[in-house]
Amino acid sequence: LDVSPISMEGPGREASTGGMQVHSCDTITDLSDIKSKAKFYMASNKPVLFKQGANSWQACNKWNFEFFCSGALGETMVEVSMDGKERGQKGKMSLRDYVSSFRSGAEAGGRQPANSVEDTKEEERGREQEQEQASRLDYKPYMRAWYFQEDHPELLQDFPNPPECFPDKFKALATEFQPPFTWIFIGPQGAFSPLHRDIWYTCAWMAQFQGRKRFLFVPPKDLKLVYRKLEDKEEYLDLRAPDLERFPSYRHANFIEAVLEPGDLLYIPSRWPHFVECLTDSVSLTSNFANVVNFKHVLIPYTRWLEKRQAAIQLMKGIMKMQLRSSGEDG
């Protein structure tokens, strides 16, 4: 049997499909009345790509690699996934050091060697060869799901949250009751997120600001072809090395492909497994949210999260009160 894994074929090119049934994601270029169009796809619970749907956001022009290496932002310590697993190996480094690990000095905001010549064809060819060679490695360290609001809340001013076309029931709540579901993703060409479903079965939007990123969606009706529920864990198909013993019928799944370019805005529906890879060095922003379609799925895990949060707050209040009593500062 010819079982071809998903693999990069060079800078800026889509991955091979390995004989799978891959269909193009619905794409909308006419952004007039975008709210009604987004409402239709949310009600249908289907993915849709709005071309240049985030192009007017300040972050689209501002959030480049040099920006993330500059000043206090570049000194911020971030967590980097080293193996792609949710609870797997993590590394800690400054944002500047992370970006510099896969970008050249000038592009990463560092100093260019004094005798270098910028933007030459030879350098461009060399960079492409380096990226192609690096993409053959099993996993690229990936800054996935950086919850930036604690360190740099000023970045919230650079984009609408929620976007007008994607109303969020969480955002209707007081800030302290909103789950921390808005994240920045930065990664090199070849970095990827394995096939997964999003937290609490929320839906999400993703805006692409730098580079190109590829999504492969699987409809919920085909979940059994790419997913196994075991006694002690869940297991998804590894699209980079498909296992026919575990997933003998995965090729019968109707995969849907979306390729994001700078300025694009993608709707990620609830309960749809998806695989994501950076086709080039990439910067993107995502936010998971609750709407009328997924609210019944979201309510139970949200309630549990809220109970734990409230319990933690009460515990901290109790500890502080005890400390005040022991120090005699409570009157």
- Name 18's Cβ contacts closer than 8 Å, sequence gap at least 6: 3, 4, 5, 6, 242, 251
pTM for this prediction: 0.83
**81 within 8 A of 142, measured Cβ to Cβ:** yes
Burial class (CB in 10 A: 0-12, 13-18, 19+), 157: exposed
Task: Dihedral sign for Cα 94, 98, 99, 105, please.
Answer: positive
Residue 203: its H or E element: strand 203-210
Choose among 257, 274, 259, 153: nearest CA to 211.
259
Q: What string of pLDDT tens digits covers the 331 residues of the chain?
A: 233 334 333 333 334 456 789 999 999 999 999 999 999 999 999 999 999 999 999 999 999 999 999 999 999 999 999 987 777 889 999 999 999 999 975 456 543 333 333 444 565 555 545 554 444 446 899 999 999 999 999 999 999 999 999 999 999 999 989 999 999 999 999 999 999 999 999 999 999 999 999 999 999 999 999 999 988 889 999 999 999 999 999 999 999 999 999 999 999 999 999 999 999 999 999 999 999 889 988 999 999 999 998 888 787 777 777 777 776 655 5
Tokens of 32: 């007039």
**208 within 8 A of 263, measured Cβ to Cβ:** yes
**CB-CB neighbours of 179 under 10 Å:** 19
Tokens of 22: 């891959």
